[in-house]
Amino acid sequence: MAIHTMRILTNRKKRRADTRPALLIPDTITDTDVRIPLGLHLLISGTTGSGKTNLLLAILSTLICRVEAGDVCLLAVDLKDGVSANAVKNLYTSIAGTIEETVVLLQKVRSLITARNQWLKENLQLEIQPSQEQPLVIIVIDEALQLYGAIDPDTIKQQRKAQDLLDQILLMGRSTAVMIIAAIQDPRKEVFKLRERFPERITLRLNDKAEAIMAMNQTAITQGAAPWLIPTGRPGLAWFYDTDAHTAIRFQAPYINIDNLQAEIENIRPIDVSQLFPDSTQPPSHKEE
């Protein structure tokens, strides 16, 4: 049995009294969980090799039981042809591996938000409480900067569409139970214009303090976060700024062995894409092989 799996299971039992939904990421230094509010958009910044992809896998590991229960639904945007997301495809309801597929998938999510807002109005409610009927939708975007910087006009057009949809989803997702988790290498604003829309920030190793201020915020740095001091040989060492408690938390994410994770999710059946987006043309599904 995977060491990380055992730790995650043990930590699940140690869940604190706080019952608000949260991502509980194991910290291998203190053997406790770092508690990250679930439902708020999360931005992960870190240089190449700092451990972003592994941290995303660690986050996915903590969500397995929710995917199994059917109140969390994972969608992947993986513009390297969907290769990384495909390695854990049993967890995903849909994987977009190209910019065209990304636009289609984000349009579906945008329509879902409209439908959920309609439901909220009809039911005089202010926000969706995730359930099997209306699961929390989490869009996982590794290497989110691949949504920028194309050269040929056609791709530029598609990228602009995707960026615009992402912006709308970031604005309206919170109350409609749609959350984005994105990972980027370069937190500079001119590069990643949507940065300000992410209230929660995790920062792995970065090149310098200026990057860290952009990736988190000045308060996090004042409170002690120093991701530029993380050595290159320490992937997974990270800072999280807890906007609730106003504290900067340093933690070490567990190493995720992909074989063990795959074994663990072998029999998982996520919500079907036709169930999530009932009355529309279907975005790409991993089941269409």
Ligand X SMILES: Nc1ncnc2c1ncn2[C@@H]1O[C@H](COP(=O)(O)OP(=O)(O)O)[C@@H](O)[C@H]1O
Residue 34: CA atoms inside 13 Å, Cβ hemisphere, count? Answer: 28
Strands 92-96 and 22-27 turn out to be: unpaired
Closer to Mg ion by Cβ: residue 9 or 83:
83
51 binds, among Mg ion, ligand X, none (CB under 5 to 8 A by kind): ligand X
Strands 32-37 and 22-27 turn out to be: antiparallel
Closer to ligand X by Cβ: residue 213 or 238:
238
Among 22, 33, 43, 46, binds ligand X (CB under 6 A): 46
Name the minimum Å distance from CB 253 to ligand X. Answer: 4
- The residue sitting closest to ligand X, measured at its beta carbon, is 236
Choices 47-55, 70-78, 187-195, 267-275 (CB under 5 A): range interacting with Mg ion: 47-55
Is 53 a residue that touches ligand X (CB under 6 A)?
Answer: yes
Q: Which residues pair with 139 in a beta bridge?
A: 75, 180
The CA angle 286-65-109, to the nearest 5 degrees, is 45
Are 183 and 44 in contact by the 8 Å Cβ rule? The answer is yes
Closer to Mg ion by Cβ: residue 2 or 56:
56
134 binds, among ligand X, Mg ion, none (CB under 5 to 8 A by kind): none
Query: Helix 153-172 crosses helix 99-122 at what angle (to 10 degrees)?
Result: 30
235 binds, among ligand X, Mg ion, none (CB under 5 to 8 A by kind): ligand X
Counting every residue, how long is the chain?
289
DSSP 72: E
48 binds, among ligand X, Mg ion, none (CB under 5 to 8 A by kind): ligand X
SS3 204: coil
Closer to ligand X by Cβ: residue 53 or 61:
53
Q: Looking only at residues 50 through 89 of this chain, which bind Mg ion when binding is defined by CB under 5 A? A: 52-53
What is the spatial distance between Cα 92 and Cα 7, in angstroms, rounded to a whole number?
A: 23
Residues that bind Mg ion in the complex, under the rule CB under 5 A: 52-53
Residues that bind ligand X in the complex, under the rule CB under 6 A: 46, 48-54, 235-236, 253-255
